[in-house]
Amino acid sequence: MSQPVAPLPPPVPVPIAAAAGGDDQHKEPSDEGLPKRFGKYTLLRTLARGGMAELFLAIQKSVAGFEKLIVIKRILPSVNQDAAFIEMLLHEARIAATLSHPNIVQIFDLGQADGLYYIAMEHVHGEDIRSIVRQMKKKSVPEFPLEHAIAIALGMCTGLAYAHEKRDLDNTPLGIVHRDISPQNVVVTFTGDVKIVDFGIAKSDTKMNSDTKSGKLKGKVPYMSPEQARGEHIDARSDIFATGVMLFELTTGKRLFKGASEYETLKLICEREYPKPSQVRPGYPPALEKIVIKSLAKATSERYQSAREMQADLETFVRDERIHVSTINLTQFMQGLFEDKLQSQKEQLIQGKQLADIIAAQNPIESMSDLPHTGVTSAPSASRTISGEEKKKGNGLVIGLLAIIVLLGGGVGGTWWWMKKKQAQQVVAGPVTPPVVIAKGSIEVKSDPPGAAIWVDGDLRPEATPATVTQLPTTGKPIEIKITKDGFEAYKQTITLTDKDSKATVSTTMKKGSVVVDVTVLPAAAKPTIMLDIKKVDGLTIDGISSGDQHKLTVSANGFVDYTTNFIAQPQEKKHFDVTLVPFVPGKPNATTTAKPSGTGKLNVGAAGGWCNVSVDGAPKGPTPLAGIELSAGPHRVTCTPEGKPAQTQTVDVPKDGTGRCKFTL
């Protein structure tokens, strides 16, 4: 690696993970209402919440006293209805589930409960690299021990080599690439193990559609390879580059790529020469520098061609330099660094498990073992019935345990305890009545062309046409079937299944989308990239767009701030957008210019067959029926959550100075 052609800004004297970028949008997690049942799992506490999903520590119980701690990644309702996102999730979760390696977090289950998709994965008791470095800063630990940095890099190389080399049952390479190797996605456990997490945006060459292969940058910008930053085709060598960035930062204590904005960071990656580790930290081991430089080669042909090669060179360095890499030492380092947190977590786990045991006693796992995951919910504790003797014991344990938590938790805990006490007082004596679910119906769904997505009562199914959807209720209530495919109008049909007529067929020849979008972009010198939903399109006129659905239009160009707007169009409508891009100014946040709706309107929401709690764009509005909700003109996402049933969502276009209406069938 040659001398930099242009000087980089002086390294920021902050450990790598303190400003890793790209993933700091997580909201402060809240444990309100936990623990609670979620399908066959019990959610104990919230671990993190982001823009697309939330993570929970959960416990899985089964017969004969089987218990297992796991992590549930639950997709947020706001994206649970996004067909393209769910398709990508299902594909990538299936790929991730095939991986079983000590240095990769294991995926156990993928399913749907309470109307929400989730992934169940291995619970890793440890901390990610970003958290470790932050804790080091709090405890005034001056630098990351070299032997631990090498141990982490070796663990990463070992896990990546396994994933990159993974083959199908017929020995066909899967071509898996993680694409988001970063401090947030590498965890060191309190027993000294290194694990790569979140293959959730992993890429596989197998059955990957064009939407997922191109269009959006995926991953955290400061750890992208040059080819990934440019939006080009990537392979395993992109993960190797990210590993090299982390090794550089762990061993020098300095950030490698940190511009004033994501755009400036991308320029550093793609256009500048990189500093050598010895230029940042005098006395840096020459043999280790050669490894770092090779992993960071801009040209993929000059980079390590496999994670195995990098692993072999690191092992040679450890052996030649007699670096004392030890799992025992790494364990002691982690436990000493997080001593206080470990004790607190232990106490929280004990309390959470005791409450989970109460929930399990009131609604035994055995009674739900044969039920389908989709849409199965347990009744709230206030409405369950238990025997008089169980009532005395259960209420005493709940109230006694929660009183202890009040003493530990203060005011907020006091409110939570009061709510639980009210639930306990409402328990009615009587025999245990397991939930009754009639789910023996089936609907055969066909479309021309095939390969369309299937929605049942607002929930996206994993199947694509032609397919038979089974385990449907035969209660005589209407079931809405919707069929969607990019470039075609959505098709809807309502079916009623009964015990006598438990099978039905839905078949349609799909009509080409009738909406045309025309875009004018200023300034004329800009070379825009147009994205519709998550797909890159050619030209400034886009036809074949479906009506009645919400779409997202994004216009971007080098040197300008991205412009984005959401819209819904009527059949045969031609929509025109005049887009004026705002020049990017270094030093200012690289925000996205969002088209602001003009005017206001009103929304009425109703429900047939019952009632539900309504939220609009994530904000609660109360139970149905609702009338006269004042909103900005334009599309809004309306969610109806009935008690004990899956949530349903519709997108409604509120007209300016008019009234939008939506109705849910429960």
The CATH number linked to 560 is: 2.60.40.3070
Report whether pLDDT(39) > 50. Answer: yes
Catalytic residue among 23, 82, 128, 180: 180
The reply to whether 542 falls in a domain is: yes
Task: Please give the helix or strand (H or E) that residue 350 lies within, else none.
Answer: helix 339-362
Residue 474 in tokens: 């035969």
406 falls within a domain: yes
Q: Examine the domain organization and report whether 226 and 163 are in the same domain.
A: yes
Residue 383 predicted with pLDDT over 70: no
For residues 396 and 529, state if they share a domain.
Answer: no
pLDDT of residue 204: 55
Q: Using the 8-state DSSP alphabet, how is residue 300 labeled?
A: G
Within-domain flag for 121: no
Query: Could you tell me the CATH number of the domain that includes residue 606?
Result: 2.60.40.1120
Give the end of a domain, one of 390, 417, 434: 434
pLDDT at position 392 is 39
Please check whether residues 426 and 394 belong to one and the same domain.
Answer: yes
If pLDDT is split at 50, 70 and 90, which confidence band does 586 have?
low
* Residue 312, in any domain of the structure: yes
Residues whose CB falls within 8 Å of the CB of residue 426, separated by 6 or more in sequence, listed in order: 382, 383
Same domain, residue pair 152 and 290: yes
Are 262 and 134 contained in the same domain?
yes
pLDDT beyond 50 at 345: yes
Question: Helix (H, G, I), strand (E, B), or coil: what is residue 532?
Answer: strand
Q: What tens digit of pLDDT does each residue of 519-572 get? A: 999 998 888 989 887 578 888 999 888 887 778 888 888 888 888 887 888 888
Q: What is the mean pLDDT of residues 1-14?
A: 35
Q: What is the CATH number of the domain that holds 453?
A: 2.60.40.10
Annotated catalytic, 518? no
C-alpha to C-alpha distance for 464 and 447, rounded to whole angstroms: 9
What is the spatial distance between Cα 112 and Cα 373, in angstroms, rounded to a whole number?
6
The count of structural domains within the chain is 5
Residue 378: pLDDT over 50: no
Confidence class of residue 102 from pLDDT cuts 50, 70 and 90? very high
How many whole angstroms from its chain centre is CA 421?
34
Same domain? 228 vs 283: yes
Provide the residue range defining the domain that includes 553. Answer: 515-594
Look at residue 595 in the predicted model and tell me its pLDDT. Answer: 58
* pLDDT level of residue 594 (50, 70, 90 thresholds): low
461 or 326, which is more confident?
A: 326
- Say how far residue 61 (Cα) sits from the centre of its chain: 25
Q: Name 53's bridge partners.
A: 75
Instruction: Tell me what pLDDT residue 97 has.
Output: 81
Q: What percentage of residues in the chain have a pLDDT greater than 70?
A: 74
Q: Which distant-in-sequence residues (6+ apart) come within 8 Å of 500 by Cβ?
A: none
**Last residue of a domain, which of 484, 509, 534?**
509
Distance CA 177, CA 540 (A): 32
Same domain, 505 and 561: no
Percentage of residues in the chain having pLDDT higher than 90: 25
Position 358 scores a pLDDT of 52
pLDDT tier, 353 (very low <50, low <70, confident <90, very high otherwise):
low
> Do 389 and 465 have their domain in common?
no
Residues 574 and 428 in one domain: no
**Does residue 81 form part of some domain?**
no
Mean pLDDT, all residues of the chain: 76
SS3 40: coil
pTM reported for the whole predicted model:
0.51
Write the pLDDT tens digit of every residue in 156-196: 999 999 999 988 888 888 888 998 899 999 999 998 999 99
Question: Of 57, 35, 41, 61, which is closest to residue 355 (Cα–Cα)?
Answer: 35
pLDDT of residue 219: 64
Beta strands in 145-202 (DSSP E): 186-189, 194-196
First-last CA distance in the chain? 64
Q: Span 436-461, mean pLDDT?
A: 80
Looking at the fold, whether 183 and 285 belong to one and the same domain comes out as yes
Strand partners for 650: 638
Q: Do 620 and 640 sit in the same domain of this protein?
A: yes
Are both 237 and 332 inside the same structural domain?
Answer: yes
